[in-house]
Amino acid sequence: MRKITFIILLSVMSITGFAQISIDKNDMPVPNDTFRISTAANASSYNFKQTGTNFTWDFTGLQASSQKMESYVSISSTPAIYNLVFMYPFVATIARERPDANIGTISITEGYNFYKNTSSEFKEVGFGAKIQGAPIPVQYQSSDIIYRFPMNYGNTDSCDAEWHVNIPSLGYISEKKHRVNEVDGWGTVKTPYGTFSCLRIKSVVLQEDSFHYDSIPLPFPSIPSKYTEYIWLAKNTGFPIVKATERMMTTTVEYIDSIKSFAGFGEVPVVAGLNIFPNPASAKLTISFGANQNSNAVVRIYSVGGKEVYRRDVTGKNQTTIDVSGFEKGVYFITVITPGRLFNGKFMVE
């Protein structure tokens, strides 16, 4: 439904032109939304600070260096322990898969960020992840309010977010954030994916991470950081059209995009160790992650148009077999995500 609405929206825009918009809860993501996100290889070529009213941001020259899929899911589809803590709809209304991270030597893997979308705000209320291998839900003591509604040009707001978690027999980790948002522009944003009427949001974040080990009596100093996000939002898209993050001397740019050839056609080689056979396939397709790979994995299959048509979590195995007899004939892209590695490939159903 989201994709159909998106196509209709593009058609209406091409007829009616662009005007100042307002963003509300209906423009936020919903369960089963999946977005193909490109990371720009040439971010330094652009000045993302520029803004104004009825302004045109032309990013059509962005070149993708890699792609990933961002997926939002229902609360009920996350592990049961997270369901209990982030009870729908009272605590959270939607979840998003989060990347693995490390704070000090503490690993945070296989996680979800949890959000609550209301008529007045879209906020991050916590996360659930395996911390040092144990699944632990972490509900924030104060939420990180990403957007306040209705969002209009000239709006400003701020919030303070905080969470901490004790890890048995290890210690604790905590994080504090102070976020200041300003809707500092509106107009038209152009990308390799299309042209959109948008609001531009500048978000300045001061973050402080802390960790402590029970086995070490000396306190560790907190780790402060500051970053600025420039975000372009459009109606009915559910995800920023463009998001530029300035951190230290580095700018990272992500944007909604169509599928690129390197995501499966060989401009970037497939990581060694991923075997797909038989290819072409008509009934059963076997995917092998390599002889030395024996850990959890997520297998995703996408159509040429970028729609996710299959997903499977694989635990403790180095291969899986999929029944593709019900797939329509044609080319499909496959992504296999394992801890620390991502494999891309393609196959054909005949």
Last residue of a domain, one of 218, 239, 256: 256
Residue 123 and residue 206 share a domain: yes
Considering 33-37, 56-60, 172-176, 319-323, the range whose residues carry the highest mean pLDDT is: 56-60
Q: Which of 239, 256, 273 is at the close of a domain?
A: 256
Instruction: Based on the fold, state whether residues 115 and 239 are members of the same structural domain.
Output: yes
Q: Are residues 145 and 281 in the same domain?
A: no
In terms of Cβ atoms closer than 10 Å to its own Cβ (0-12, 13-18, 19+), residue 241 is: buried
Choice between 309 and 207, residue whose per-residue pLDDT is larger: 207
Mean pLDDT of 143-164: 97
Q: What is the mean pLDDT of residues 181-192?
A: 96
CATH code for position 16: 2.40.360
- State residue 263 phi and psi, 5-degree precision: -75, 0
**Residue 88 shares a structural domain with residue 48:** yes
Mean pLDDT along residues 141-159: 98
- Please name the residues in contact with 174: beta carbons below 8 A apart, sequence gap of 6 or more: 162, 163, 164, 165, 209, 210, 211
Most confident of 1-5, 115-119, 319-323: 115-119
Kindly report, residue by residue over 257-281, the tens digit of the pLDDT.
876 654 443 333 334 456 888 888 8
pLDDT (0 to 100) of residue 34: 80
Task: Let me know whether 185 and 73 are in one domain.
Answer: yes
Residues 242 and 299 in one domain: no
Position 340 confidence tier, pLDDT thresholds 50, 70, 90: low
The reply to whether 184 and 243 lie within a common domain is yes
Same domain, 243 and 292: no
Mean pLDDT, the chain, integer: 84
Other beta carbons within 10 Å of 26: 12
End-to-end distance of the chain based on CA atoms, in angstroms? Answer: 28
Please give the tally of structural domains in the chain: 2
CATH number of the domain that residue 330 is part of: 2.60.40.3080
Residue 13 makes CB contacts below 8 A (sequence gap 6+) with 195, 196, 197
* pLDDT, tens digit, 9 for 90 and up, residues 130-139: 887 888 999 9
Do 164 and 289 sit in the same domain of this protein? Answer: no
pLDDT tens figures, 68-90: 878 899 999 899 999 999 999 99
pTM of the model: 0.72
Looking at 223, 256, 289, the residue that finishes a domain is: 256
Q: What whole-number distance in Å separates Cα of residue 67 and Cα of residue 256?
A: 10
Range of the domain at 319: 263-349
- What is the C-alpha to C-alpha distance for residues 173 and 130, in angstroms, rounded to an integer? 13
My answer on whether 216 and 323 are in the same domain is no
Looking at the structure, do residues 189 and 308 belong to the same domain, yes or no?
no
Closest among 200, 229, 213, 225 to 54, alpha carbons compared: 200
| Buried residues in 58-89 as b, exposed as e (16+ CB within 10 A) | ebeebebebbbbbbbbebeebeeebbebbebe
pLDDT at 271: 46
